[in-house]
């Protein structure tokens, strides 16, 4: 899964983090259940709209034989 739920003990909150984007927090919740719901919704959105050809074109090395 791209999105994960983590508990931040210092702030006493549940965070939804994007594991493919340097662990960037995309949501913060006081309870675990809403954080899980958001993470699942973000995952569905990512799978539905996902990275397009443009993303691949930006990361592909044109000089590579593969």
The ranges assigned to domains in the chain are 3-51
| DSSP 8-state assignment for residue 61 | -
pLDDT tens readout for residues 11-66: 999 999 999 888 899 999 999 999 999 999 999 988 887 665 545 555 555 565 55
Confidence check: pLDDT of 6 > 70: yes
CA nearest to 38, candidates 6, 3, 2: 3
CA angle 16, 35, 3 (to 5 degrees): 35
Contacts of 43 (CB under 8 A, 6+ apart): 1, 2, 3
List the beta bridge partners of residue 19.
Answer: none
pTM over 0.85: no
């Amino acid at each position: 899964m791209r999105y994960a739920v983590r508990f931040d003990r210092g702030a006493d909150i549940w965070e939804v983090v994007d594991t493919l984007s340097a662990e960037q927090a995309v949501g913060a919740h006081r309870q675990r259940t809403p954080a899980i719901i958001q993470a699942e919704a973000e995952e569905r959105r990512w799978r539905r709209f996902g990275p397009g050809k443009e993303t691949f074109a930006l990361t592909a090395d044109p000089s590579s034989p593969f």
